[in-house]
Amino acid sequence: MTDTSSTACDPCLPADGDMVIHFAHPAYRLAECFARRNTAISHFQTENRAATLDRLGEGQVLVLSGLWSNEMLDAAPNLRYIQVCAAGYDQFDRDALRAKGIRLANGSGVNRNAVSDHAMAMILALTRQIHTGRDRQRERIWRPMISDIARREEELEGKRILIYGLGAIGSRLALLARAFGMQVIGIKRNLADHDGSVLDLRPPADFLATLAEVDILVLTCPLTPQTENLVDAAALACMKPTAYLINVARGRCVDEAALIEALKSGAIAGAGIDTFVEEPLGADSPLWGLENALITPHSAGETRRYEENVIDILLTNLRCLQQGDEGLINRIV
C-alpha cells in the first residue's frame, strides 16, 4: 500500500550541477540511457553488490531494485531519494527510510505493457500447447492429430478469466483478454477506484468462491500480507481441473509446494510462472520437469524500452524533490 503521509521539508535534492545519481543494476543499462538525456546531473553505475556498497556514499539519489539490502542505509549518509526500477519494494525497510528522511518511489507502470503482454503470451502458449510443441521440436517429433477432444488445444473466446489485482498491469491485461472475446472478472481491494476495464468486479473476500467459475487465474497483484500465499492448497482445490494459473506478480503470492502437487496430480491443467519464491529457481525444483508448467526467468517486465520508462519517472520525481514537492509519482515513503 502506498504511503501518502507527508512531512514538511525543504527541497530534498540539490540543483542538477550538485547532484549525483548512483544507478545500480547488473543488467539494465540505466546510466547509458540517462546520459542520452543530456542533463547536467553527474551519474555512474555499479553492477554488483560489492561495487554498489563501495560507492554508496557518493550519491544523493540511488536507482536500483534487486541489489538493495537494508544494511546499505548505514553506508549512505548523503542518500535522500531511492527510485526503485521495478514495481516490487518489499525488500525495503520503510520505517528505517522514514527515520532517515529518505524518499522512496517504485517503478509501478514502467512495465505495464510488457507484463500484460507476457501474461497474455503465457495464456496463449498454454491453451494452444505451444510450449509442448517447442519441446517436441527439440526431439524432432511431429505430434499426430489428437483424437481425444479433452486433450486438444483450446480457443479463448468465451473462456472466463479472473485477474487478481487491477493496477496498471491487470487493467491492461483485462483489455487484452476482452479483445480475445474472454469473459473477464476482476478482483480489486478498492471497488470504488476502478477504470472500467472489467465489467464484473469483485472484492478479495469473493476470491475462493469465484475460482470454481473460471478457466484462467492470473495474479497481477503486489505482494502484501494479504496476498502472500494467496494461491495455496485450498485455493488450488477450488479451481477446475481444466483451469490454468498464470503468476506474473510475486513468487510468494503462490505456495510453490502446493502448486507442484496440483500440477503433478492434475488438479489443475497447467501454470505459467514468471516469479518464484527463491530466484534463480533451484536446479532441483520439480517445476523444471513438469510438462504442464511453463517457466520464464522473471523476464515478464523486460523490454528494449525498460530503461527509458524508468528514467521518465526518475526525472519527473527529481524535479518534484528539487522543488520541495511531495507529489512524487509512485511514492511509497
pLDDT digits (tens, 9 = 90+) for 83-118: 999 888 889 999 999 999 999 999 989 999 999 999
Residue 161, helix vs strand vs coil: strand
pLDDT class for 50, splitting at 50, 70, 90? very high
Q: Are residues 318 and 269 in the same domain?
A: no
Mean pLDDT of the chain: 95
pTM of the model: 0.88
pLDDT of residue 3: 47
User: The C-alpha cell of 291 is what?
Assistant: 510438462
Annotate 210-247 with DSSP letters as a single string: HHTT-SEEEE-PPP-TTTTT-B-HHHHHHS-TT-EEEE
Q: Are residues 71 and 174 in the same domain?
A: no
Per annotation, catalytic residue among 32, 71, 278, 279: 279
For residue 194, indicate whether it is catalytic. Answer: no
Residue pair 33/308 in contact by the 8 Å Cβ criterion:
yes
Looking at the domain assignment, is residue 2 inside a domain? Answer: no
Tally of domains in the chain = 2
For residue 298, indicate whether it is catalytic. Answer: yes
Determine the length of the chain. Answer: 333
Q: Are residues 242 and 138 in the same domain?
A: yes
CATH number for the domain harbouring residue 181: 3.40.50.720
Residue 61 bridge partners (DSSP):
21, 81
Q: How far apart are CA 80 and CA 58, in angstroms?
A: 12
Lowest mean pLDDT among 10-14, 134-138, 264-268: 10-14
Per annotation, catalytic residue among 22, 160, 298, 331: 298
pLDDT class for 9, splitting at 50, 70, 90? very low
Q: Are residues 254 and 147 in the same domain?
A: yes
Annotate 84-125 with DSSP letters as a single string: ESSS--TTS-HHHHHHTT-EEE--TTTTHHHHHHHHHHHHHH
For residue 279, indicate whether it is catalytic. Answer: yes
Residue pair 92/68 in contact by the 8 Å Cβ criterion:
yes
Per annotation, catalytic residue among 250, 256, 307, 331: 250
pLDDT class for 10, splitting at 50, 70, 90? low
Q: Are residues 102 and 166 in the same domain?
A: no
User: By residue range, what is the domain housing residue 314?
Assistant: 16-109+304-322
